[in-house]
Amino acid sequence: MSNQEWPLWEIFIRSKAGLDHKHVGSLHAADAQMAIEMARDVYTRRMEGISIWAVESVNIHASNPDDAESFYEPSNDKIYRHPTFYDLPDELTHM
């Protein structure tokens, strides 16, 4: 018997048609098919979704928290990048 762990998968669920798949958690599975079946059992038992994506976690590349300062802080003082300087007519709603 090998003690090798099954790979980790990230699970994304679409709650209803038209909405995005949202990350709901992760699980261990031997392959993609097993990952989807297990996601069905673990994450959709309370009618949470109508579609499942499974992505092997090793295929997700993340930014490094150590880079936060140089990545995100420079945008803090550049509020002119937000489209908040337009005068909108009153009739326009949902903006």
Partner 1 sequence: MTNDKIQYILQLADNSLIHGHRLSEWCGHGPILEVDMALTNIALDNIGAARSFYQYAAELEGQCKTEDSYPYERDILEFRNVLLLELPNGEFSDTLMKCFFFDAFQFHFYTALQKSTDERIASIATKSLKEVTYHLRFSSEWVIRLGDGTAESKQKMQAAIADFWTYTGELFDASAAEKAMMSEGVAVDPASLRPLWEKTIADTFEEATLSYPIQKDGAWFQKGGKTGIHTEYIGFILAEMQYMQKSYPGLEW
d(CA 31, CA 15): 23
d(CA 55, CA 29): 11
- The least CB distance from residue 70 to partner 1, in Å, is 39
Q: Does 28 bind partner 1 (CB under 8 A)?
A: yes
Q: Does 67 bind partner 1 (CB under 8 A)?
A: no
d(CA 53, CA 10): 8
- The least CB distance from residue 16 to partner 1, in Å, is 19
d(CA 68, CA 19): 29
Q: Which of 12, 13, 24, 29: binder of partner 1 (CB under 8 A)? A: 29
- The least CB distance from residue 62 to partner 1, in Å, is 24
* Sign of CA pseudo-dihedral 82, 85, 89, 90: positive
- Contact residues for partner 1 (CB under 8 A)? 1, 27-30, 33-34, 37-38, 40-42, 45
